[in-house]
Amino acid sequence: MTISGWILPGGKFAALDGLCHEEWLEANTDIHDNTGADVRQLALNRGYARARQYGGKLTIEVGVTFFRGAVRRAISRLLEDRAEDFDFVTVQLVNDRGLLVRSAAVQVFDAECPAAAALSVLEKVS
């Protein structure tokens, strides 16, 4: 089972249920833009975190100012609970314009303890 969805500002994970990330935002939030702005970036600027699994790689993207509290705890739970579902984890912290501020990646697939390996990415990116 793939892990793709949004972590809401309050810490709840919302799976995409077959939609792409932008379609999910349009259908489930008030984040819309008719000016051509990137709705993904608008969501990140409101405290949402994006999780996307492609094959064995999980990438989590979050606004650097929101990488704390409920969002960070939700990311931690996701990594710990589902560590055996992926081979690599990358966490990317972006600014309010979508530019990469910091990132870290870890290999999980051959770790003695996949959960500990997955969780280590949070310390590396901090």
Report how far residue 40's alpha carbon sits from residue 37's, in angstroms, rounded to the nearest whole number: 9
- Residue 110 Cα to chain centre, angstroms: 22
> What digits encode the pLDDT tens for the residues 38-61?
899 999 999 999 999 999 999 999
Report how far residue 109's alpha carbon sits from residue 77's, in angstroms, rounded to the nearest whole number: 18
Helical H runs in the chain?
A: 21-28, 39-45, 69-82, 114-125
With bands split at pLDDT 50, 70 and 90, how would you rate the model's confidence at 79? Answer: very high
| For residues 4-10, average pLDDT | 96
Instruction: Name the residue among 75, 59, 42, 62 with its Cα closest to residue 4.
Output: 59
Q: What is the pTM of this model?
A: 0.93
> What digits encode the pLDDT tens for the residues 27-43?
999 887 666 678 999 99
Domain ranges of the chain: 5-125
